Chain A
Amino acid sequence: MNLSNKRFILKTLVAATALAGFGGAALAQEAPKSIRIGWAIAKTGINAGGTSVTTAPNYKLWVKEINDAGGIMLKAYNKRVPLEVIEYDDRSSTEEAVRATERLITQDKVDFVLPPWSTGSNLAVGPTYEKHKYPLLAATSVTDKAPDLVKRWKHAFFFLGTGGEYAEDLVAMLEKAKKEGKINNKIAMINIADGFGVELANATRKAAKLHGFELVYDKSYPIGTQDMTPVINEAKGKGADTFVAYSYPPDTMLINEQAKTLGLTPKVFFTGVGTQFPMFKGKFGAAAEGVMAPGGIDASNPQMQAYLKRFKEVTGQESDRFASPIVYTSLQMLQQSIERVGKIDRAAVTQELKTGTFETVLGTIKLENQQLTKLWHVGQWQNGEFNAIAPTTRAGAKAAVIPRVTP
Chain B
Amino acid sequence: MNFIDILLAGAMLGGLYGLVAMGLTLQYGVARIMNLSYGEFLIAPAFLAFFAVSGWGISPLLLMLLVIPLGFAVQWLIYQLLLTPLVRRAKGGPSLEVDSILATFGMLFVVQGIMLVSFGGDYHSYTYLSDTLEILGSKVAANRMLVLVVALVLGGGLYLLLTRTRAGAVVRAVAVAPQFAHLVGINVRSTAALAYGLGGALIAVCGVMVSMFLPFSASMGTMFAMKALIVVIMGGVGNLMGCLVAGMLLGFSETLVASFIDPGLTLAVNYAVFLLVLLFKPTGLFGRAAR
Chain A residues within CB distance 8 Å of chain B: 42-46, 48-49, 51-53, 56, 92, 190, 193, 219-222, 224-227, 229-231, 233-234, 237, 249-250, 253-254, 257-258, 260-263, 274, 277, 279, 283-284, 317
Question: Would B123 and A258 count as touching, CB distance under 8 A?
Answer: no
Complex: how many Å from CA A225 to CA B214?
10
Query: Given the complex of chains A and B, what is the CA–CA distance between A263 and B215 in angstroms?
Result: 20
The answer to whether B125 and A222 have CB atoms under 8 Å apart is: no
Complex CA gap A229/B144 in Å reads: 11
Q: How far is the CA of A224 from the CA of B224 in the complex (A)?
A: 10
| Contact of A250 with B214 in the complex, beta carbons under 8 Å | yes
Residues of B within 8 A of A277 (CB): 123
Instruction: Kindly state whether residue B258 has any CB partner on chain A within 8 Å.
Output: yes
Counting residue pairs across A and B whose Cβ atoms lie within 8 Å, the total is: 125
B241 at the interface (CB under 8 A from A): no
**9 examples of A-B residue contacts, CB within 8 angstroms:** A48-B217, A49-B219, A224-B267, A226-B214, A227-B9, A230-B1, A250-B215, A262-B132, A263-B139
Expressed in whole angstroms, the Cα–Cα distance for A230 and B266 within the complex equals: 11
Known: A48-B219, A249-B215. A230 touches B263 (CB 8 A): yes
CA A263 – CA B5 in complex, angstroms? 13
Instruction: Check if B213 is an interface residue, CB within 8 A of chain A.
Output: yes
Nearest chain A CB to B180's CB is how many angstroms away? Answer: 41
Chain A contacts for B144, CB-based, 8 A: 227
State how many angstroms separate the Cβ of B7 from the closest Cβ of chain A: 11
Measured between C-beta atoms, what is the minimum distance from A244 to chain B in Å?
15
Q: How far is the CA of A254 from the CA of B143 in the complex (A)?
A: 13
Could you tell me if A231 and B263 are in contact, using CB atoms closer than 8 angstroms? yes
A225 to B13, CA, bound (A): 11
Complex partner residue of B13 from A45, A226, A234, A274, CB under 8 angstroms: A226
Which of B94-102, B114-122, B150-158 participates in binding chain A? Answer: B114-122
A284–B213 CA distance with the chains assembled, in angstroms: 12
Contacts of B191 in A (CB 8 A): none
Q: Which of B121, B125, B141, B259 contacts A233 (CB 8 A)?
A: B259
Q: How large is the interface on B (under 10, 10 to 19, 20 to 34, 35 or more residues)?
A: 35 or more
Chain A residue with the shortest CB-CB distance to B255: A230
Q: Which of B112, B217, B220, B262 has the most CB of A within 10 A?
A: B217
Alpha-carbon distance between A43 and B215 when the two chains are bound, in angstroms? 18
Residue of B140, B141, B264 touching A221 (CB-CB under 8 A):
B264
Given A44-B116, A51-B121, A249-B215, A233 contacting B9 (CB threshold 8 A): yes
CB contact list, B203-248 vs A, under 8 A: 213-220, 223
Residue among A49, A234, A257 making CB contact with B122, cutoff 8 Å: A49
A224 touches B127 (CB 8 A): no
Chain B residue nearest to A223 in the complex (CB): B267
Q: For A233, give the chain B residue with the smallest CB separation.
A: B1
- A43 to B122 Cα, complex, angstroms: 10
| With contact pairs A193-B264, A283-B125 given, residues A230 and B258 touching in the complex (Cβ less than 8 Å) | yes
Q: Let me know if A283 and B126 touch, CB within 8 A.
A: yes
Q: Name the distance in Å between A146's Cβ and chain B's nearest Cβ.
A: 26
B189 at the interface (CB under 8 A from A): no
**Chain B residues closer than 8 Å to A230, beta-carbon distance:** 1, 6, 9, 255, 258-259, 263
CB-CB under 8 A from A226, the residues of chain B are: 13, 16, 214
Q: Given A226-B13, A227-B12, A227-B255, do A257 and B218 touch, yes or no (CB 8 Å)?
A: no
| Interface contact A220-B122, CB-CB below 8 Å | no
Contact status A45-B219, CB under 8 Å = yes
Does the CB pair B263–A190 fall under 8 Å? yes
Instruction: Considering the complex, give the chain B residue whose CB is closest to the CB of A45.
Output: B219
Given contacts A250-B215, A283-B126, contact A261 B139 (CB under 8 A): yes
The answer on a CB contact under 8 Å between A53 and B223 is no
The answer to whether A219 and B213 touch (CB under 8 A), given A48-B219, A258-B141, is no
Would you call A48 and B223 a contact (CB within 8 A)? Answer: no
Closest to A226 in B: B214
User: Is the CB–CB distance between B258 and A257 below 8 Å?
Assistant: no
Chain A residues, Cβ within 8 Å of B141: 257-258, 261-262
Min CB distance A177 to B, Å, is: 27
Tell me, in angstroms, the Cα distance from A263 to B130 when the chains sit together.
12
Within 8 A of A (CB), among B156-175: none
**Is the CB–CB distance between B1 and A221 below 8 Å?**
no
> B127–A261 contact, CB under 8 A?
no
- Establish whether residues B123 and A49, one from each chain, have CB atoms under 8 Å apart when the complex forms: yes
- In the assembled complex, the Cα of A41 lies from the Cα of B239 at a distance in Å of 41
Contact with A along B172-216 (1 / 0, CB 8 A): 000000000000000000000000000000000000000001111
Pairwise interchain contact B124-A279, C-beta atoms closer than 8 A: yes
Expressed in whole angstroms, the minimum distance between the Cβ of A320 and any Cβ of chain B is: 11
Chain B: minimal CB distance from A282 (Å)? 8
Interface residues of B in 24-45 (CB under 8 A from A): none
Bound-state Cα–Cα, A49 to B264, Å: 23
Task: Give Cα A48 to B113, complex, Å.
Answer: 12
Question: Which residues of chain A come closer than 8 Å to B121, judged between CB atoms?
Answer: 42-44, 48-49, 51-52, 56
- B214/A52 in contact, CB under 8 A: no
Residues of chain B with a CB closer than 8 A to A257's CB: 127, 130, 141, 213
Residues of A within 8 A of B9 (CB): 227, 229-230, 233
Q: Check A234–B219 contact: CB distance below 8 A.
A: no
Question: Are B123 and A274 touching (Cβ within 8 A)?
Answer: yes
Distance between Cα atoms of A46 and B217 in the complex (Å)? 9
Asked, given contacts A261-B132, A279-B122, A283-B126, whether A227 binds B267 with beta carbons under 8 Å apart, the answer is no
